[in-house]
A and B are shown apart, each in its own frame.
Chain A
Amino acid sequence: MIELKNICFTRNNKKILDNINLVLEDEKFYCLTGPNGSGKSTLAKIIMGIEHPDSGNIYLNGVDITDKTIAERANLGIGFAFQEPVRFKGITVFDLLKFATKKNISRNDACTYLSKVGLCALEYVDREVNNSLSGGELKRIEIATVIARNPSVAIFDEPEAGIDLWSFQNLNNVFKELEATYKGVTLVISHQEKILDIADEIILLEQGNIVKKGNKIDMLDTILPSTKCCKKVKYE
């Protein structure tokens, strides 16, 4: 369980997060959505420890982790897939998966993680995580590194961005599986209806404020364009 209490984050006189209070429970799948620049990624980075709030506290299963480093939080079970995955020079996909699992995993294990995100595994294990990978490939590898950690709090920042429609279905199944089997908290930042569909709860962030939180039916009129909304209502 993750709890955010009175989180504020201001930069250049702009309130990026304005007194956020939020509880994310185990075994639930949350979707965080909202306009560009509303503070979604910042919120995720504050949970991972990449950004530090100006005030407020973060609790993991009741323990205050506000002053813990990124690595400490990672080792307590928080995992975060970046919106814009990082490229390296010389570090391979296999290396990253080994770091992620903290084990000397076999190539077979590595392949299992890559297949989950729809990559033809053998082709990718030894690739360098550098400029030669396409945006979509990089994004999938990023997701694989987080799934491989089996975190108790898994955060994915726009996982489906840059992934083609065809593969999106499969990726969607990965998240469905997470939703169905996962013991911990899953937080996915997304604008995709398909992901919103899976979510137990949707959180809508606007200008650094949580303006609404609820299940899909509660949220429908707020998020989805009116036409689609009507169609849905008519058919259901």
Chain B
Amino acid sequence: MNKVDELLLEEVIGTNLKEADAINIRKNGKSIERKISPYIEIVSKKDKNGIDIYVKDDVKFGIIHIPVIITESGLTDVVYNDFYIGKNSNVIIMAGCGIHNDLHKDSEHDGIHRFFLSENSKVKYVEKHYGEGKGSGKKVLNPTTEIYMKAGSSMNMDSLQIKGVDDTIRITKGELAENTTLVINEKILTNNANKAKSEFYIELNGNGSSTHVTSRSVATEDSYQEFKSNIIGNAKCYAHIECDGILKENGCVKAIPEIFAKNVDANLIHEAAIGKIAGEQLLKLMSLGLNEKEAEDAIIKGFLK
């Protein structure tokens, strides 16, 4: 790994890579580093690109890091990663992709991640997307996340795309059995002529299942964002979908909510609010001595924190 690689990794995972129990680092389409533990196994797929990650039953606390970095211009990397989480296990998974593209050809990473949560398992999943580089080549990231939750399991997913990704289509699907909880926090900042689309398809199939999806987007300059949610309540369940957008310059945000209650005990809520920064928030911060630009930056930084 060279300096660029290390910096990209740091953007995606932070500096505590070595603390993980299991690690798989993928660079330009190949695994370059792997670590496994007695409780967490990582196996390369035979039929296609990607890995299977197996977490045994009753693992009390495990940390898994599977970052991807791309430094080759013109590369399209498609990868399939499947996570099998054993009963009663509790793990933190950090994933994400950093692209460094200094040339004129497009670089693309499509990560298809599937999570199979066994009964009473618990997953915290953090995914960060980042692009950099001086070239005109686009940095494209299309993550798909599928989450299958057995009874009593819970998952908390944070996804963050803060900088430099030209094009993204993110798709998140969930199927929830009884007494499951799926919490998703998504934060996206777009600038230049970036385009970002995020779609959520969640089916609440079991009694006592619930989901809370919060999407916060900041669309600046000439960028465009689209948020689509499609939530189906098939049982006694609860869903709260929140889409909050801040616009600057010529930024555009479109929110398309769809909630479909198919059971009399389903309780589904959708809230969407898009607009420029609230004037009174700016006034308050300015009355504390921040100039207009500083106040705006502080509000956006807090919003995406």
Which A residues form the contact surface with B (CB < 8 A)?
Answer: 48, 50, 69-71, 74-75, 79-80, 82, 85-86, 88-92, 95-96, 99-100, 102, 145, 149
Residue of A71, A95, A100, A145 near B302 (CB, 8 A) is: A95
**B280→A74 contact, CB < 8 A:** no
| Residues of the B chain whose Cβ atoms lie less than 8 Å from the Cβ of A48 | 287
CB nearest to A75 among chain B residues? B289
**A50→B303 contact, CB < 8 A:** no
Q: Mark B272-305, 1 if CB is under 8 A from A, else 0.
A: 0000001011011111111110010011011111
**A82→B284 contact, CB < 8 A:** yes
Pick the most buried of B244, B290, B299, B302: most chain A CB atoms within 10 A of its CB.
B302
**A88→B287 contact, CB < 8 A:** no
Pick the most buried of B281, B289, B298, B305: most chain A CB atoms within 10 A of its CB.
B289
**A99→B302 contact, CB < 8 A:** no
**B303→A79 contact, CB < 8 A:** no
**A86→B286 contact, CB < 8 A:** no
Return A117 CB to nearest CB of chain B, in Å.
Answer: 16
* Cα distance A88–B216 in the bound complex, in angstroms: 13
Pick the most buried of B285, B290, B301, B305: most chain A CB atoms within 10 A of its CB.
B285
Return B142 CB to nearest CB of chain A, in Å.
Answer: 27
CB nearest to B289 among chain A residues? A74
CB nearest to B278 among chain A residues? A86
CB nearest to B280 among chain A residues? A86
5 A–B contacts, CB within 8 A, in A order: A50-B287, A71-B287, A71-B291, A85-B284, A95-B298
Q: Mark B101-122, 1 if CB is under 8 A from A, else 0.
A: 0000000000000000000000
| Residues of the B chain whose Cβ atoms lie less than 8 Å from the Cβ of A70 | 283, 286-287
**A99→B290 contact, CB < 8 A:** yes
**A88→B281 contact, CB < 8 A:** yes
* Cα distance A86–B295 in the bound complex, in angstroms: 14
- 10 extra A-B contacts, CB within 8 A, seeds A86-B281, A89-B244: A70-B287, A71-B291, A85-B284, A86-B280, A88-B299, A90-B304, A90-B305, A92-B302, A96-B288, A99-B285
* Cα distance A100–B301 in the bound complex, in angstroms: 17
CB nearest to A99 among chain B residues? B288
Return B48 CB to nearest CB of chain A, in Å.
Answer: 39
Residue of A50, A89, A90, A149 near B283 (CB, 8 A) is: A50
| Residues of the A chain whose Cβ atoms lie less than 8 Å from the Cβ of B286 | 69-71, 74
- Could you tell me the dominant secondary structure of chain B's interface residues? helix
Interface residues of B toward A: which range? 20 to 34
Return B232 CB to nearest CB of chain A, in Å.
Answer: 28
CB nearest to B246 among chain A residues? A89
| Residues of the A chain whose Cβ atoms lie less than 8 Å from the Cβ of B284 | 82, 85-86
* Cα distance A69–B304 in the bound complex, in angstroms: 28
Return B212 CB to nearest CB of chain A, in Å.
Answer: 14
| Residues of the B chain whose Cβ atoms lie less than 8 Å from the Cβ of A88 | 281, 299, 302
**B244→A149 contact, CB < 8 A:** no
| Residues of the A chain whose Cβ atoms lie less than 8 Å from the Cβ of B303 | 89-90
| Residues of the A chain whose Cβ atoms lie less than 8 Å from the Cβ of B285 | 99
| Residues of the B chain whose Cβ atoms lie less than 8 Å from the Cβ of A75 | 289
**A91→B289 contact, CB < 8 A:** no
Chain A to chain B: the 5 pairs with minimum beta-carbon distance, closest first? A90-B302, A91-B302, A74-B289, A70-B286, A86-B284
Q: A71-B292, A86-B281, A89-B244 are in contact. Are A79 and B287 (CB under 8 A)?
A: yes
| Residues of the A chain whose Cβ atoms lie less than 8 Å from the Cβ of B292 | 71
* Cα distance A46–B221 in the bound complex, in angstroms: 33
| Residues of the A chain whose Cβ atoms lie less than 8 Å from the Cβ of B299 | 88, 91
Q: Mark B244-264, 1 if CB is under 8 A from A, else 0.
A: 100000000000000000000
**B304→A99 contact, CB < 8 A:** no
**A74→B288 contact, CB < 8 A:** yes
* Cα distance A60–B237 in the bound complex, in angstroms: 60
* Cα distance A82–B283 in the bound complex, in angstroms: 10
| Residues of the B chain whose Cβ atoms lie less than 8 Å from the Cβ of A89 | 216, 244, 302-303
**B281→A145 contact, CB < 8 A:** no
Return B188 CB to nearest CB of chain A, in Å.
Answer: 14
Residue of A74, A90, A91 near B287 (CB, 8 A) is: A74
| Residues of the A chain whose Cβ atoms lie less than 8 Å from the Cβ of B290 | 71, 99
**B288→A100 contact, CB < 8 A:** yes
Return A220 CB to nearest CB of chain B, in Å.
Answer: 34
* Cα distance A234–B278 in the bound complex, in angstroms: 52
CB nearest to B301 among chain A residues? A90
| Residues of the A chain whose Cβ atoms lie less than 8 Å from the Cβ of B244 | 89
**A80→B289 contact, CB < 8 A:** no
| Residues of the B chain whose Cβ atoms lie less than 8 Å from the Cβ of A96 | 288
Residue of A85, A90, A102 near B289 (CB, 8 A) is: A102
**A99→B287 contact, CB < 8 A:** no
Return A128 CB to nearest CB of chain B, in Å.
Answer: 8
| Residues of the B chain whose Cβ atoms lie less than 8 Å from the Cβ of A92 | 302
* Cα distance A74–B284 in the bound complex, in angstroms: 11
| Residues of the B chain whose Cβ atoms lie less than 8 Å from the Cβ of A74 | 286-289
